[in-house]
Amino acid sequence: MAVVPLQRKPLTFAERTYLPQIAAGLWTTLRHLVKPAETLQYPEQRPAIPPGYRGAPTLVRDPNGREKCVSCQLCEFVCPPKAIRISPGAVPEGSGRDHVEKGPLAFDIDMLRCIYCGLCEEVCPEEAIFLQNQYSMSGVTRAEMVNHKDKLLEMGGTLPDRHFKWDRKKAAEEAGGAHH
């Protein structure tokens, strides 16, 4: 089978002078001169965040100010890039968290490794970890990009609890104890 070379049609005079391409470029420039600016003066102006945006993972407290994390480590196990590290420990007596067997002594999220997949939020049985709308994080060193427990709780704040499961459990125990 013979290979037939591709025959190109010759360029017209206008194509050889590049005049149509120059005119198209000038037209684009003129259009942008009369169009309103799309530039935002960041960080004073920020773009609207679309619904369902997955931002930085944070830890939250319940409405009573207690840490919700019970150090089950499911988020650590499910994290694909292994960005989460949890060191479980005992919960101090009288901390208002008597319903919990253990809590995190250390809870670190390496934001340089995090891929913002949201699996940690989905797997958390206590609804203790949420992806916030924060998308602007910076640091000079790698160590600055590791969010420790205190910073994660500060970023997450307090979110309304949809279940109040520990409060209901405690109320049920008190009610059950009163009847006996």
- pLDDT of residue 117 exceeding 90: yes
User: Rg of the chain's alpha carbons, rounded to an integer?
Assistant: 28
Query: In which band, very low, low, confident or very high, does the pLDDT at 135 lie, cut at 50, 70 and 90?
Result: confident
Burial 15-41 (b: 16+ CB within 10 A, else e): eeeeeeeeeeeeeeeeeeeeeeeeeee
Q: What percent of the chain has pLDDT over 90?
A: 43
| CATH assignment of 57-154, among 2.60.40.1080, 3.30.70.3270, 3.20.20.140, 1.10.1660.10 | 3.30.70.3270
pLDDT the model gives residue 162: 65
Q: Is the pLDDT of residue 138 over 80?
A: yes
Cβ neighbours of residue 81 closer than 8 Å, sequence gap 6 or more: 113, 114, 115
pLDDT in tens, 44-78: 888 888 888 888 999 998 888 888 899 999 999 99
Instruction: Answer yes or no: pTM beyond 0.75.
Output: no
